[in-house]
Structure 1
Amino acid sequence: MNAVTCQGRRCDAIRPSTLAHLAVGVSRRPACLRTVHRCRLLAVGEHVLILGMDYGLVLFTSDRGITPAAAARLAEDHGFDTFYVPEHTHIPVKRQAAHPTTGDASLPDDRYMRTLDPWVSLGTACAVTSRVRLATAVALPVEHDPITLAKSIATLDHLSGGRVSLGVGFGWNTDELADHGVPSGRRRTMLREYIEAMRALWTQEEAAYEGEFVQFGPSWAWPKPVQQHIPVLVGAAGTEKNFKWIARSADGWITTPRDVDIDEPVKLLHDVWASAGRQGAPRIVALDFKPVPEKLAHWAELGVTEVLFGLPDRSEQEVAAYIERLAGKLAAAV
């Protein structure tokens, strides 16, 4: 990575691909946001944003509209840091589980029943990008065989050159989980074991794991991920119970659409993180709907590490125009 000086401070977070945009008539003198501890130049079209947070895009994939590969390429071309996709294997027609947003069995979006496989989707995105991180928001690991899933994730990290982040959820749709043999009252324990078992497969030469739900003896499993540590983020409500789980087993939090005011939850997460003896700070990915300058600056000061915006499931041309407008709003916001 290249380094430049921002207001007298050295900045190591600037990518060579971003610096190229400085040579096309954009201001050559970056300035850090007052509240942040690191600088980031984010190139979006002809704009250069001086920001202290990463910016990501999430596509609720479906069998219509823009493809994941095209959306990821647009995200990278416009300087965004991460491209996310969600997961649902299926939606039982008759179910007891209420959707968190509607409060009943109705769905707020028919894409829940049309969602593409996340790892196939990110594989296609990997083939047409070289910089943007490839992530899930969120995946449901307990709906899979952990050994096979560990192989898929390690393979994607290997082929992408170390660009994978794993966003996971406990699973609000307990009927969906039940079809995969997941007992709803044990899904947190099961997810913890899956993550621990996959980490063993990713890091140990002869991996083994013995748990309640996952067991396997000494085994060889390659490829290993390029990253020494694949980040695991949990998409869940901002509660103390969830934060204790994160502090024990994950690396950070992805907010939900219901987490409108995140000030108190973020403070609580930092307190729980410190109480658990974790070093550094948790990663915090905040879902946003409209770039507001004061809010972005406040979030940076609060400790948010990435801001995430959703994409519409429209045509490639329409999504490209949407991203261009979003980039312009972000430029104006700072």
Structure 2
Amino acid sequence: MEFGVNFFPVVDPAKKSASTYYDESLQLVELAEALEFEHVQTVEHYGSAYGGYSPDPVVFLTAAAARTSRIRLVTGAVVASFAHPVQIAARLALLDNLSHGRLDVGFGRGFLPDEFELFGVSMEESRTRFTEVVDACIALWSGEEVRFEGEVHRFGPVSGFPLPYQRPRPPVFVASATSAESCALAGTQGHHLQVVPSVTSQQQLTEMTAAYRTARRAAGHEGPGRIQIKYTCYLGENRDVVLADARANEQNYVDMMAGAVASWAGARSEQYPGYEKFVEKARAYDFDQALAGHKVLAGTPDDVRAQIETIRGWYGPDICLSLQFNPGHLPYARAVRAMELFAAEVAPAFADSAVAAAAAAA
């Protein structure tokens, strides 16, 4: 079982400036490498405090690459709907070269109506745009001359330039929020998977990961594939202090998310069935239920170890947890201490599962 570090900035600029957030996060990137976490990753959002401090994961990860030498760099995810595939492929190839092959590319469709409106893109095109961008990037990274004729994107003939450092290409992850069908398609295509338990039930996420594994095996792809599951993690010696931090910062996340998804109250799309319920879910959020349901990790090292044992039992020993240690306005020193405690007192308990998963894949 592997563990990485995730950065999802849900930050009020009045409480923390962009430069302070970037400085602190990049220091945590360096700490993540020193503590032997498997990866660092970040998101792509625009125009609000809900993720808006990360409008370009490639730029942030380029800065991370300059400060590190081993840790993998993950886009979690590049939004395929908002840029041309030639631009996306070239920028990602640049980062892969700058990092000497440490890039994992997560692609997502985007899901906020306000962002689609901002870029003048129809949400009804999101699935088509996603498929075309992933297919076009993979083709451009091949080094062959590409002529692409899609419903939205048409270009060529053109050769991808620069080519990525990794051959034949960087690993590709597909971000899926609630759809078992999307997970199965990712498995069939031989891609890896990124999921978020906070927006789905444990049963639904179990079905999603099972659909992915079944489809990947049926398609004959080598190995089990990689599944990243993203959690926020609050960790410290004093449970009362940790839970107070968790309660306050999780409520901050929900409040910011509620503002970001508010447009779903009047938006409907066949591409996003059920997403209008995000507004209702945000209003009904209860921290104690989220903690009991292991949608957030919080407590002492013993508490968090027990939570991860349960999660491993649900989703399997071969998963990778991508953990956010600096959510919202948590003081920087507490994020540092949480990472140190996790590396020293939590992660070692799961080293055996990583070995077992590797042996099963061999």
TM-score, normalised by the number of residues in structure 1: 0.71
Name the CA distance, whole Å, in 2 between partners of 1:170 and 1:259. 17
- Secondary structure of the residue aligned to 2:193 is strand
CA separation of 1:220/1:66 partners in 2, compared to 1, >3 Å: closer, same or farther? closer
- Secondary structure of the residue aligned to 2:173 is strand
Amino acid at match of 2:184: K
From 6, 31, 44, give the equivalent of 1:74.
Answer: 31
Offset of residue 177 of structure 1: 1.8
CA separation of 1:268/1:303 partners in 2, compared to 1, >3 Å: closer, same or farther? farther
Q: Deviations over 1:47-66 (max 9, x none)?
A: xxxxxx22111012461435
Structure 2 counterpart of 1:163: 102
Offset of residue 279 of structure 1: 4.2
The percentage of counterpart residues that share the same residue type is: 27
Name the CA distance, whole Å, in 1 between partners of 2:2 and 2:39. 8
- Secondary structure of the residue aligned to 2:199 is coil
Q: Which has a greater percent of helix? A: 2
Amino acid at match of 1:244: A
Alignment of 1:182-331 (within 5 A): 182-228=121-167, 229-249=169-189, 251-256=191-196, 257-259=198-200, 261=202, 262-288=205-231, 289=297, 290-292=304-306, 294-295=309-310, 297-298=312-313, 302=316, 304-313=318-327, 314=330, 316-331=332-347
- Secondary structure of the residue aligned to 1:88 is coil
Q: Deviations over 1:266-317 (max 9, x none)?
A: 22222233344544323211224344353365368x2533111112155654
Amino acid at match of 2:139: A
Structure 1 counterpart of 2:283: none
- Contiguous gaps of at least 5 residues in structure 2: 12-17, 232-296, 298-303, 351-362
Offset of residue 187 of structure 1: 0.7
Asked if the contact 2:190–2:216 (Cα under 8 Å) also holds between the matched residues in 1, the reply is no
Q: Deviations over 1:178-226 (max 9, x none)?
A: 3323221221111110011111211123232121111111223322111
Structure 2 counterpart of 1:48: none
State the number of aligned residues: 263
Q: Deviations over 1:37-76 (max 9, x none)?
A: xxxxxxxxxxxxxxxx221110124614353432211110
Alignment of 1:67-146 (within 5 A): 67=23, 68-91=25-48, 110-146=49-85
CA separation of 1:192/1:250 partners in 2, compared to 1, >3 Å: closer, same or farther? farther
Asked if the contact 2:80–2:110 (Cα under 8 Å) also holds between the matched residues in 1, the reply is no
CA separation of 1:297/1:245 partners in 2, compared to 1, >3 Å: closer, same or farther? closer
CA separation of 1:54/1:161 partners in 2, compared to 1, >3 Å: closer, same or farther? same
CA separation of 1:218/1:66 partners in 2, compared to 1, >3 Å: closer, same or farther? closer
Name the CA distance, whole Å, in 1 between partners of 2:147 and 2:52. 36
CA separation of 1:277/1:186 partners in 2, compared to 1, >3 Å: closer, same or farther? farther
Asked if the contact 1:72–1:125 (Cα under 8 Å) also holds between the matched residues in 2, the reply is yes
Structure 2 counterpart of 1:148: 87
Structure 2 counterpart of 1:55: 3
Q: Deviations over 1:227-262 (max 9, x none)?
A: 123122122234332123313546122121234524
CA separation of 1:264/1:241 partners in 2, compared to 1, >3 Å: closer, same or farther? closer
Amino acid at match of 2:326: P
Amino acid at match of 1:65: Y
Q: Which has the larger displacement, 182-191 or 125-134?
A: 182-191
- Secondary structure of the residue aligned to 2:73 is strand
- Contiguous gaps of at least 5 residues in structure 1: 1-52, 92-109
Amino acid at match of 1:298: G
Name the CA distance, whole Å, in 2 between partners of 1:295 and 1:66. 33
Asked if the contact 1:66–1:319 (Cα under 8 Å) also holds between the matched residues in 2, the reply is no
Structure 1 counterpart of 2:238: none
CA separation of 1:189/1:245 partners in 2, compared to 1, >3 Å: closer, same or farther? farther
Alignment of 1:7-22 (within 5 A): none
Q: Deviations over 1:91-135 (max 9, x none)?
A: 4xxxxxxxxxxxxxxxxxx34333342111111001010000001
Asked if the contact 2:107–2:134 (Cα under 8 Å) also holds between the matched residues in 1, the reply is no
Name the CA distance, whole Å, in 2 between partners of 1:116 and 1:148. 15
Q: Which has the larger displacement, 311-320 or 227-236?
A: 311-320
Name the CA distance, whole Å, in 2 between partners of 1:152 and 1:74. 26
